[in-house]
Amino acid sequence: MEQRVFVFNPGPAALPLPVLERIRDEMLSFRGTGMSILEMSHRSKTFENVLNDAAMRVKRLLRLDERFRVIFLQGGASLQFAMVPMNLALEGKPVGYIDTGYWASKAMKEAQILGKEVRILASSADKNYAYIPKNLVLDENLAYLHLTSNNTIEGTQWQSFPDTQGIPLVSDMSSDIFSRVFDPSPFGLIYAGAQKNAGPSGVTIVIVREDMLGRVPKNLPTMLKYTTFVESNSLYNTPPCFAVYVVDLVLEWLEETVGGLEKMEALNREKAKILYDYIDSQDFYSCPVVPEDRSMMNVVFRLPSPELEDQFVKEAEKEGLVGLKGHRSVGGCRASLYNAVTVEAVRALVDFMKEFVRKNG
């Protein structure tokens, strides 16, 4: 087999090697059916078992009680930016948003396009989103409070979630779902594009608390209502079957090979510590994020000049370290350390960084 590279892509991102091998082995005949899952009817019992297994694994891993429903949608987190206010806003109540960067701002803008009364409770725009805002002053009249749990581009992460005193939390967890343990009970809705930590692009995991479903307006288009997919077990129309199958395999790997979220979180903390400790130990590389708000998933860093950053990314790729270019909106470099990225990959990156300094520092 051709040598595989270390993948630090921000999404679509690294998948666990055992999962890729399993997909390869099951590709031509899925579990004795004589056909690929790519060819299989979404109405078949075989596929419905895969979908139900994926939903059950989501519930077990996140310790969701019977109040929560798991559905699989399309359109990525970007469609959820609109579906959340369409489905969960309440007449006469403002919707609350916390602005922590590029994706949080996009979510907010969709609510504004829909004509909702948007309250921005806090923002870290004043310091280029290099921190997570603290000491929120809540408006108890909010329909919900939306936040982005991990800011993929800016490299910040909520280390603990705000106490909303009963206001339903809504979160875009695209880039850190399944990376750590958290209490789901304050959340009315969680959504995550799968292509960072849970599977391939093409499917979005949505977790909705049942009391939120009573808010869904009757006059929404059928395909834009959460109730449509809850009532049809995500099978109202043809779902992205292959992507759901891969999510199921990733979650099986998380449960049965890694051993659950506590173990995954410990590994993720170890990986992030290796990289941040090295960045903080010298002065060629620097991380702009305040230490207490740094993301475990996306480590952003700068070199002394944009020219050196370009050179770094190109030379890293030649050494089998891919996906280290920062987002076009902010520049710099970024290493995404999602669940499937190994400790070995992070150590290889640090070794390369040391060698790059030796030659160019």
**pLDDT under 50 in the chain at which residues?**
none
Encoded amino acid at 50, one letter: V
pLDDT, tens digit, for every residue of 141-181?
999 999 999 999 999 999 999 999 999 999 999 999 999 99
Q: List C-alpha distances in Å: 108 to 59, 130, 145, 153, 219.
A: 28, 19, 11, 17, 23
Question: Is the distance from CB of 98 to CB of 146 less than 8 angstroms?
Answer: yes
Contacts of 26 (CB under 8 A, 6+ apart): 37
Q: Which residues carry out catalysis?
A: 103, 172, 196
What is the location of CATH 3.90.1150.10 in the chain? 260-360
Q: Could you tell me which CATH class the domain 260-360 is placed in?
A: alpha beta
Say if residue 221 is preceded by a cis peptide, omega within 30 of 0. no
Question: What is the structure's pLDDT at 361?
Answer: 85
pTM over 0.85: yes
Q: Which two tokens stand for residue 140?
A: 């108890």
Q: Residue 1: what pLDDT?
A: 64
Smallest Cα–Cα separation from 239: which of 78, 83, 63, 40? Answer: 40
Q: What is the pLDDT of residue 5?
A: 98
- What CATH fold (topology level) applies to the domain 18-257? Aspartate Aminotransferase; domain 2 (3.40.640)
Residues forming beta bridges with residue 334, ordered by sequence position: 300
Numbered ranges of CATH 3.40.640.10 in the chain: 18-257
Would strands 68-73 and 204-209 be described as parallel, antiparallel, or unpaired? antiparallel
